[in-house]
Amino acid sequence: MIGAVPHGVIRQWREWCPNPEYLFGVENRAWRVTYAQLSQPILSLSFTDDEYLSERNIESLHAFYAGAAREMRRLAPSDVGVDRIGHFGFFRRRRAESLWSQARDWLVAQSIHRG
């Protein structure tokens, strides 16, 4: 369903995904501190038709970056004039103008702001 993924990655996901604290419930507890200390702004784009991550999942992941300014954009396919985005749709070249441009514009604005 998701293509060729190394066996170790699948094994890692099998440990992380059922845990309510995701990777922080499985991996070295010091990671939680490291993530919380990150101070760079974060933009995440998530999609209402994502078959793997719900809005609640994204919000939970955002919470680990407690020291960062976090902007979460939750988009429906209709918001960008398409029928489907899904979990992997952002990475498709045909989404360059509708989705990649949002990330690009945000990065440009951040670079100007931090000047």
69 and 110 in a single domain? The answer is yes
- Same domain (yes/no): 30, 73: no
Which tens digit of pLDDT belongs to each residue from 70-111?
999 999 999 999 999 999 999 999 888 889 999 999 999 999
At 56-66, the pLDDT tens digits run: 989 988 999 99
Confidence (pLDDT) at 2? 64
- Domain hosting 3: range is 1-37
Using alpha carbons, select from 76, 71, 72, 73 the residue that is nearest to residue 48: 76
Give me the amino acid identity at 114: R
pLDDT value of residue 35: 93
Contacts of 69 (CB under 8 A, 6+ apart): 41, 42
Which ranges of 38-86 does DSSP label H, i.e. alpha helix?
55-63
- Region for 87 from its dihedrals, namely left if φ exceeds 0, alpha if ψ lies in -120 to 50, beta otherwise: alpha
Q: What is the pLDDT at residue 1?
A: 54
Are 78 and 33 in a shared domain?
no
Tell me: do 22 and 44 sit in the same domain: no
Question: What pTM was computed for the model?
Answer: 0.81
| Same-domain status, 61 and 20 | no
Q: What is the pLDDT of residues 18-51, one digit of tens each?
A: 888 888 888 888 989 999 999 999 999 999 999 9
**Do residue 54 and residue 96 come from a single domain?**
yes
Higher pLDDT residue, 114 or 63? 63
Handedness of CA 60, 62, 65, 68 (dihedral sign): negative
99 and 69 in a common domain: yes
Dig out the tokens for 73 from the structure: 């954009």
State whether 73 and 27 are in the same domain: no
* Residue 94 to residue 12: CA distance in whole angstroms: 30
